[in-house]
Amino acid sequence: MAILLQQVFENTGKVTFFTKRFFKAITTQSFELKEFLKQCYLLGYKAFPLVGITGFIMGLVLTLQSRPTMVKFGAEAMLPGMVALSLVKEVAPIVTALICAGKISSGIGAELGSMKVTEQIDAMEVSAINPFNYLVVTRILATTLMVPLLVVFADCIGMFGGYLAMNIHSNVKIYRYCSQILETTSFIDILPATIKTVFFGFFIGMIGCFKGFNAANGTESVGRAANSAVVSASLSIFIIDLIAVQLTDILFKS
């Protein structure tokens, strides 16, 4: 138990120093724009198809499963608004973030871990290139920017899925569907949900980079870094979500 506690404190300390180093680097080091754009493409753009398919299915399934209950209460007209609110506020951010934790965070963990094990990070260091600035800062900033965009994309695709699901059982015009969504959702619903996805993106990148950059020597540690990145990033997403919901409740209650 004592050893476990010691490990928890040690890791917390290391993550804190890693985060501090990140913020110091973005304020003092030169910005690697080319690498940042490359990472936005590799980590974000390439995840669009997966997030799109998942978002579509989420919207479709959510509508199909909610419909019988809504019909029972005579509130079928409110179904688009309910689905949209569910997607925007919770389902799309959480599911997209979890997909990104699985795809992006593990990918970063494995990539940087492999670079560490094969001395590529050391090679960069001895070539007088700052590996933290080049590898870590760019990836964290890329995930911080791209995850919110992926969530917005998932929201839109999910609502489209919901529209198709509505039309399986009834004939709903697209403008009526959209106006129902716009009537139900407000800026206050979208803003906190979007802000929390920025934190999701930051932690997905940060945890992946931390695990990979601090991988021990040996190929086994690469797998461990990838696996540990997914678990830690997923857990952090739920914790951030819990905090975000509480804060939103306090700040936007009125």
Partner 1 sequence: MNQQETIFLLPQAPKTDTTSDYAIDIKDLWKSFGKNEVLKGVELQAKAGENLVMLGKSGSGKSIIIKCLVGLLPVDKGVLKILDTDITGLSYAELNKIRLQVGFLFQNAALYDSMSVRENLSFPLQRHTKNITATEVKTAVSEALESVGLLEAIDKMPSELSGGMKKRVGLARTLILKPSIILYDEPTTGLDPITSREISELILEIQKKNNTTSLIITHDMACAKLTSDRIVMLNDGVIYTAGTYSELEQSKDEWVQSFFH
Where do contacts with partner 1 occur on this chain (CB under 8 A)? 114-115, 118-120, 122-130
Q: How far is the CB of 127 from partner 1 (least distance, A)?
A: 4
User: Rounded to an integer, what distance in angstroms lies between the CA atom of residue 90 and that of residue 107?
Assistant: 25
Q: How far is the CB of 32 from partner 1 (least distance, A)?
A: 10
Q: How far is the CB of 134 from partner 1 (least distance, A)?
A: 9
Q: Cβ of 46: how many Cβ atoms within 10 Å?
A: 14
CB of 115 or CB of 151, closer to partner 1:
115
CB of 46 or CB of 167, closer to partner 1:
46
Task: Tell me if 203 sits within 8 A of 194, measured CB to CB.
Answer: no
Q: How far is the CB of 23 from partner 1 (least distance, A)?
A: 17
CB of 134 or CB of 160, closer to partner 1:
134
CB of 31 or CB of 238, closer to partner 1:
31
CB of 117 or CB of 151, closer to partner 1:
117
Q: How far is the CB of 116 from partner 1 (least distance, A)?
A: 11
CB of 125 or CB of 220, closer to partner 1:
125
Give the CA angle between residues 133, 126, 25 to the nearest 5°.
Answer: 15
CB of 89 or CB of 116, closer to partner 1:
116
Q: How far is the CB of 21 from partner 1 (least distance, A)?
A: 12
Q: What is the dihedral of CA 115, 116, 117, 122, to 10 degrees?
A: 100
Q: How far is the CB of 126 from partner 1 (least distance, A)?
A: 4
User: What single string gives the DSSP state of each residue in 81-116?
Assistant: HHHHHHIIIIIHHHHHHHHHIIIIIHHHHHHHHHHH
Task: Tell me if 60 sits within 8 A of 160, measured CB to CB.
Answer: no
Q: Cβ of 29: how many Cβ atoms within 10 Å?
A: 13
Give the CA angle between residues 68, 69, 71 to the nearest 5°.
Answer: 65
Q: How far is CA 5 from CA 1, 50, 78, in A?
A: 6, 38, 49
Which residues lie below 8 Å from residue 132, measured CB to CB, with a gap of 6+?
A: 21, 22, 25, 213
User: Rounded to an integer, what distance in angstroms lies between the CA atom of residue 80 and that of residue 90?
Assistant: 15
